[in-house]
């Protein structure tokens, strides 16, 4: 039976606190305004009545008068998403699902939903909704990756209650998809469409200009903001007149490019996250990440500091040939260079990567289907020189040491600028997680 005036509820599920604690993770307020919900609403045909719900901030009314429920989920959210789907389907509501999780677990997700969408939403979203309204849904819809990111619709922020995101909210935006690099542990390049693509600068600038009256801080949520340097510089030129503050992720080589950094500073960059992964060159070679030059890390940090750009570093531990002293050596390195913030991660072979296939074949993965389903720094592999529990303890010890007050006061300058303040706020947030009762380092910002 077809539906003439269909009602759509798009939900971003929360997650359970742990594998044993099925309490739903909730917060009263978020700083980051998500992109997925309002963007899916923008892709939705106008004849649909659309409601957006972020479960971290709001409870779900399973008896709401809706015709279709759409769930978008990372693997972390999947156990909760499946429970939500089950409750709605029990009431006769059609449920569809997409997101990064579905890209790798389409058949599994299809068991809980009426249909799932694999890949980028643009080529399949409207078709899925039309088929749902007409009662002719297929189980799996697979998208052909977009060749270009041209004329994407502006997100429907009008459907969100922005008061729930605080007075100093940050808007997540996206100017590119994919990554030009191929790291052996990273699966993002698969579900983001593979080939590195970017949006036309004028369209990106226009979108930010429209959002600016709602807030002046933006987070470019993409794998590598500078994946194509010339295009990134053109975009930053376009940002200069907007007088915004922004944050993003980019690769370490750009921290050695003074022209790039000068323009980034001029355009309002406040914080950058950088995946340097290790201070050991041999480990970087194992990761297929040889462009990270350990001998020039100090120069990178000095370049950022001179331009008042706050930054954070990502590290990965657990490679077979690591020096046993790498944990203490890394902490000393970070304090010596007064690095503002750092994230310490356990090597995790995510589905779809060469690392996953290699470790699965070697019998080194504890439970392949459990990876990324629960929050925190969980060791999913059998390390070569310790037990999984010992690896988790090493990482927890690093967090407590790095975010201890002695380390914070040693590393951070007195907050004289917005970038300095950003570093202090980030350190206080990470300190609360490091010393929480669970100590699970749950970085759920999206």
Mean pLDDT value across residues 56-75: 97
Same-domain check for residues 396 and 257: yes
Which residue has better confidence, 435 or 110?
110
Q: How far apart are CA 258 and CA 291, in angstroms?
A: 17
Q: Is residue 446 over pLDDT 70? A: no
Same-domain check for residues 244 and 382: yes
- Which of 211, 264, 217 has the alpha carbon at shortest distance from 236? 264
Same-domain check for residues 128 and 264: no
- If one counts every other C-beta atom within 10 angstroms of the C-beta of residue 201, the result is 18
Residues whose CB falls within 8 Å of the CB of residue 106, separated by 6 or more in sequence, listed in order: 116, 118, 140
Among the candidates 142, 176, 199, a domain finishes at: 142
Asked whether residue 152 is domain-assigned, the answer is no
Same-domain check for residues 130 and 175: no
pLDDT at 10: 98
Q: What is the pTM of this model?
A: 0.93
Q: Is residue 172 over pLDDT 50? A: yes
Asked whether residue 129 is domain-assigned, the answer is yes
Helix (H, G, I), strand (E, B) or coil at 427: helix
Total domains in the chain come to 2
When computed from its CA atoms, the radius of gyration of the chain, rounded to whole angstroms, is 22
Same-domain check for residues 224 and 322: yes
Helix (H, G, I), strand (E, B) or coil at 26: coil
pLDDT at 141: 98
Same-domain check for residues 413 and 269: yes
Q: Are 335 and 407 in contact (CB under 8 A)?
A: yes
Mean pLDDT value across residues 425-440: 81
pLDDT at 437: 54
The domain that holds 418 is classified in CATH as 3.20.20.70
- Phi–psi pair at 7, nearest 5 degrees: -115, 130
CA 321 to chain centre: 28
Percentage of the residues of the chain whose pLDDT score is greater than 70: 96
Asked whether residue 444 is domain-assigned, the answer is no
Would you tell me the crossing angle of helices 388-402 and 326-336 to the nearest 10 degrees?
20
Q: Which two tokens stand for residue 382?
A: 């059998």
Helix (H, G, I), strand (E, B) or coil at 102: helix
Confidence band, pLDDT 50/70/90 cuts, at residue 194: low
Same-domain check for residues 323 and 366: yes
Asked whether residue 149 is domain-assigned, the answer is no
Q: Which two tokens stand for residue 294?
A: 């350990």
DSSP 8-state assignment for residue 295: G
**DSSP track, 176-239:** EES-S---TT--HHHHTTSS-EE--HHHHHHHHHHHGGG-SEEEE-SS-TTSSHHHHHHHHHHH
As a whole number of angstroms, the longest Cα–Cα distance in the chain is 67
Q: Print the domain residue range for 199.
A: 168-434
The domain that holds 33 is classified in CATH as 3.40.50
Same-domain check for residues 423 and 384: yes
Same-domain check for residues 117 and 209: no
Asked whether residue 161 is domain-assigned, the answer is no
Confidence band, pLDDT 50/70/90 cuts, at residue 444: very low
Q: Which two tokens stand for residue 38?
A: 């309002």
Q: How far apart are CA 123 and CA 121, in angstroms?
A: 6
- Which of 364, 385, 379 has the alpha carbon at shortest distance from 441? 379
Same-domain check for residues 97 and 19: yes
- If one counts every other C-beta atom within 10 angstroms of the C-beta of residue 407, the result is 18
Per residue in 302-341, pLDDT (tens digit) is 999 999 999 999 999 999 989 989 999 999 999 999 999 9
Same-domain check for residues 362 and 300: yes
Mean pLDDT value across residues 187-202: 83
Q: Is residue 193 over pLDDT 80? A: no
């Amino acid at each position: 039976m077809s539906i003439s005036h269909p009602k759509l509820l798009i939900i971003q599920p929360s997650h359970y606190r742990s594998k044993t604690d099925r309490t739903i993770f909730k917060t009263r307020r978020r700083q980051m305004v998500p992109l997925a919900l309002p963007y899916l609403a923008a892709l939705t045909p106008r004849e649909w009545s659309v409601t957006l719900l972020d479960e971290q901030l709001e409870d779900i009314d399973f008896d709401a008068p809706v015709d279709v429920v759409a769930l978008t989920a990372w693997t972390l959210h999947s156990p909760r998403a499946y429970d939500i789907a089950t409750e709605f389907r029990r009431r006769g509501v059609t449920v569809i699902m997409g997101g990064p999780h579905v890209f790798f677990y389409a058949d599994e997700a299809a068991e809980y939903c009426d249909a799932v969408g694999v890949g980028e939403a643009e080529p399949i979203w409207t078709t899925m909704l039309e088929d749902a309204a007409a009662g002719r849904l297929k189980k799996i819809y697979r998208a052909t990756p977009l060749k270009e990111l041209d004329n994407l619709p502006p997100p429907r922020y009008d459907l969100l209650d922005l008061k729930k995101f605080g007075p100093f909210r940050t808007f997540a935006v996206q100017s590119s998809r994919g990554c030009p690099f191929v790291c052996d542990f990273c699966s993002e390049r698969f579900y983001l469409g593979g080939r590195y693509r970017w949006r036309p600068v004028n369209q990106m600038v226009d979108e930010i200009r429209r959002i600016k009256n709602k807030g002046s801080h933006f987070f470019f949520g993409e794998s590598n903001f500078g994946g194509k340097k010339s295009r990134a510089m053109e975009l930053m030129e376009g940002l200069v007149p907007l007088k915004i503050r922004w944050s993003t992720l980019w690769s370490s080589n750009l921290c050695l490019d003074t022209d790039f950094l000068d323009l980034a500073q001029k355009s309002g960059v406040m914080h950058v996250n950088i995946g340097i992964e290790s201070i050991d060159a041999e480990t970087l070679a194992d990761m297929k990440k040889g462009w990270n030059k350990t001998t020039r890390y100090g120069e990178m940090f000095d370049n950022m500091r001179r331009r008042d750009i706050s930054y954070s570093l990502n590290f990965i531990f657990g490679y077979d040939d690591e020096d046993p002293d790498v944990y203490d050596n890394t902490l000393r390195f970070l304090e010596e260079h007064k690095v503002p913030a750092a994230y310490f991660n356990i090597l995790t072979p995510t589905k779809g990567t060469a690392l996953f296939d290699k470790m699965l074949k070697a019998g080194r993965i504890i439970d392949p289907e459990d990876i990324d389903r629960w929050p925190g720094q969980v060791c999913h592999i059998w390390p070569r020189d310790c037990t999984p529990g010992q690896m988790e303890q090493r990482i927890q010890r690093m967090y407590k040491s790095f975010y201890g007050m002695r380390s914070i006061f040693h590393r951070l300058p007195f907050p004289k600028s917005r970038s300095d303040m950003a570093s202090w706020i980030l350190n206080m947030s990470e300190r609360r997680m490091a010393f929480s009762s669970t100590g699970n380092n749950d970085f759920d910002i999206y």
